[in-house]
Amino acid sequence: MGKFKPAVFVVDHEYLIASTLVLILNQFGFAATGFACPLKAIQAAETQCPDIVIADVQLPAMSGIELAIHFGKHFPECKMLLISGQVGTGDLLASAREQGNYFEVLAKPFHPDILLATLELLSS
């Protein structure tokens, strides 16, 4: 019997970032799929819910925080990890916390080892 491969959705409007993270995760035993649009990730989750979603805070159509809240309501078994390269996202995160939503956040750029260690913690 093969080892369980956690399914991961990577949602980032910057194609290069999403595709690079998918490549890294697949090399380390994850079943990763990338999305540029959060709405496409939601649509895909309705068919096959991932174990973890990694989403940029700044996304088109809806923020990564809104996406995380949506997943929390509709797919509560799915873990969320937000990533951000923007200094201004602190206000969005503070607002989400005030509403009782707490998310793990990694600041871009980050080393793949940091991402993998964070995913390991989320998975345990």
**Percent share of the chain, pLDDT over 70:** 93
* Structure-model confidence comparison of residues 15 and 92, the more confident one: 15
Domain regions of the chain by residue span = 25-123
25-123 belongs to which CATH class?
alpha beta
pLDDT at 89: 64
1: confidence class by pLDDT, cuts 50, 70, 90: very low
Q: Look at residues 85, 32, 23, 79 and name the one whose alpha carbon lies nearest to residue 59.
A: 85
Q: Highest-confidence range of 41-45, 61-65, 90-94, by mean pLDDT?
A: 41-45
What whole-number distance in Å separates Cα of residue 115 and Cα of residue 118? Answer: 5
> Of 89, 86, 76, nearest to 109 (Cα)?
86
Average pLDDT over residues 44-51: 97
Per-residue HEC secondary structure of 58-83 comes to CCCCCCHHHHHHHHHHHCCCCEEEEE
Rg (CA), the chain: 13
The yes-or-no verdict on residue 93 having pLDDT over 50 is: yes
Sheet holding 31-35, edge to edge: 31-35, 7-11, 52-56, 79-84, 104-107
Is residue 75 within 8 Å of residue 44, measured between CB atoms?
Answer: no
Is residue 5 predicted with pLDDT exceeding 90?
A: no
Using the predicted structure, report yes or no on whether residue 90 has a pLDDT greater than 80.
Answer: no
CA neighbor of 8 nearest in space, from 97, 21, 59, 58: 21
pLDDT, the chain, mean: 90
Model confidence at 26: pLDDT above 80: yes
Name the pLDDT band for 87 (thresholds 50, 70, 90).
low
